[in-house]
Amino acid sequence: MTRPLNGGVTAGRPQSAAPGATTVEMRGISKWYSNGVMANDHVDLVLNPGEIHALVGENGAGKSTLMSILCGLEEPTDGEIRLDGQTVSFSSPVSASEAGIGMVHQEFKLFPSLTVAENVAFRAEPTRLGMFLSRREARERVRELADRYRLGVDPNAKVGQLSVGMLQRVEILKALHRDAQVLILDEPTAVLTPQEVDDLFAVLRELRDAGRTIVVVTHKLREVMAFSDRITVLRDGRSIATLTTSETNPAEVAHHMTGRDVDLDGRYNAGSPAGVALRVDGLFVQNELGVMVVSDANFSVRHGEIVGIAGVAGSGQTELIESIAGLGGHSSGVVELDGTDIHQLSAAERRRKGIAYIPEDRRGVGSAVTASVSDNLAMGFHRRAPLRKGWRLDRAAMKRHSADIIEAFGIRVSHAKVEAGTLSGGNLQKVIVGREMSHDSAVLLVDQPTRGVDIGAIENIHGRLRAYRDRGHAIVLTSAELSELFALADRILVMYGGRVVAEYPRADATEAKIGLAMAGITQQTLTGSEETT
């Protein structure tokens, strides 16, 4: 089924477009799966050359399916794709790539032991005499592409030694090497630090100005507003709206995404802290390799207070939190819960004493995705009443327990016996948050609570964290998003190189101060006192 073209779409190629620039039209795209799920329902998407187009929507809105269809991974049940007005059909990613469509996936597909040039050239190797690999030519082509788009990648570097941000650029180079006119990036900022995000956008603008079409699949509104030229919103498998970024605002986009009005940032409201709940004194943590990952951490968290920990990824936040929970590597120092030292206790004993923990990796650590929602909700609290009755598990109590949490935390699931892995990221996070909040533990440790979670669920989880604090619990929160810390924390610590290098009450904290401290620049280093790394 084909819908009529919007007038002017194909004609509107900007002057800046390079030769070969492509207009992509996806018309009436539908995709049913054999289990009856309709992932795309007559979706329209038009991509003009020389634009950065944001494809936004909540998890399960059909973004990934639509992009899988565009890059040839899946075939649509209905609808058609046109490139410059020509109807095409892609039977595989190879045919899409030949037509100039390249995709940078969320998980990078690279060989760590090979160089950048070798990775980029793989399966599209320049050859001499039709059969011999020409490494030199591959290197030069990669260098030329990297220079032209200011990617700053060394063709001779071993991929295994590159940072995540650089790996992403290698993936972009791979697509460019195959002459992609249309570049699709799936959640490209999920793995990047704030600085790397800015650098990525600079690269994308560079590519856009050269006439290429960029599609960024994302659900981060702030970024959408910052970098895109146009926005297409999907919801429940349908295209809801296509907006021009300069003429819209975050609230409108969020409204289209969720179908309701969303309180985006959730105003910060101050807590009313009471006595000290958690005290950490001189805590050192070594990881399995013997590397000191947390050095001399000293801080306390009061009842009714959220303490946020800022820092670039790998500054020791996760290890600090794990160590307080009784997990992770070897540690020394004092960890006090309500005045009693718990440093010698096992993770199970700490749980029992009142330490709950929401880990960063919700599928790998925070849940068993092949177990039922009900089992996931019980785990960790199954050895105490009411889930345990005498020597055995009380199945009826487990059922009530899961029904209560599902209801209280608004987890969207048809039945508590459903496998947890079938839930969306936000929904699964609600399962974990619900479980960890349901036992009134004095201290709640929260590591990256909303990474990769829908806006609707973020709002929900933020509200719950505030309410939990207001009931007198102490919360330690880490986040890669400064905005999240500003929305929640009553006090912000900054970690750098395993140390807590700065501490600001909410009122004194500014993005500039924290940003500097995250880079290791603090009052002490400025005045020249020693800082070991």
Residues near another protein (CB under 8 A) are 35, 325-327, 346-351, 357, 359, 364-371, 375, 378-380, 382-383, 388, 391-393, 419, 421-422
* Smallest separation (angstroms) from another protein to the CB of 10: 38
| Cα separation, 118 vs 98, whole angstroms | 20
Closest CA to 362 of 455, 465, 453: 453
Nearer to another protein by Cβ, of 411 and 509: the residue is: 411
* Smallest separation (angstroms) from another protein to the CB of 365: 5
Sheet of 101-104, strands arranged across:
101-104, 182-186, 213-218, 52-56, 230-235, 238-244
* Smallest separation (angstroms) from another protein to the CB of 427: 13
* Smallest separation (angstroms) from another protein to the CB of 371: 5
* Smallest separation (angstroms) from another protein to the CB of 332: 20
* Smallest separation (angstroms) from another protein to the CB of 472: 24
Nearer to another protein by Cβ, of 123 and 392: the residue is: 392
Nearer to another protein by Cβ, of 83 and 327: the residue is: 327
Closest CA to 26 of 5, 11, 7: 5
- Burial code of 246-282, b = ≥16 C-beta within 10 A, e = fewer? eebeeeebbbbbbeeebebebebeebebeebbbbbee
Helix (H) or strand (E) holding 265: none
Nearer to another protein by Cβ, of 283 and 325: the residue is: 325
Nearer to another protein by Cβ, of 223 and 360: the residue is: 360
Nearer to another protein by Cβ, of 148 and 363: the residue is: 363
Closest CA to 335 of 361, 297, 302, 305: 297
Helix (H) or strand (E) holding 65: helix 63-70
Token couple for 486? 């500003």
- Provide CB contacts within 8 A for 53, sequence distance 6+: 47, 213, 214, 215, 216, 228, 229, 230, 231, 232
* Residues facing residue 184 across a β-bridge: 103, 215
Q: How far is CA 241 from CA 5, 117, 252, in A?
A: 16, 40, 10
* Smallest separation (angstroms) from another protein to the CB of 424: 12
Calculated CA dihedral for residues 496, 498, 504, 506, nearest 10 degrees: 100
Closest CA to 46 of 258, 257, 255, 244: 244
Contact 433, 461 (CB under 8 A): yes
| Cα separation, 225 vs 412, whole angstroms | 29
Nearer to another protein by Cβ, of 303 and 343: the residue is: 343
Nearer to another protein by Cβ, of 218 and 367: the residue is: 367
Closest CA to 422 of 411, 410, 413: 413
Collapse the DSSP code of 260 into the 3-class scheme (helix H, G, I; strand E, B; otherwise coil) and give the result: coil
* Smallest separation (angstroms) from another protein to the CB of 351: 5
Contact 472, 461 (CB under 8 A): no
Nearer to another protein by Cβ, of 42 and 388: the residue is: 388
Whether the bond into 386 is cis, omega within 30 of 0: yes
* Smallest separation (angstroms) from another protein to the CB of 119: 30
* Smallest separation (angstroms) from another protein to the CB of 440: 17
Nearer to another protein by Cβ, of 82 and 388: the residue is: 388
Nearer to another protein by Cβ, of 381 and 496: the residue is: 381
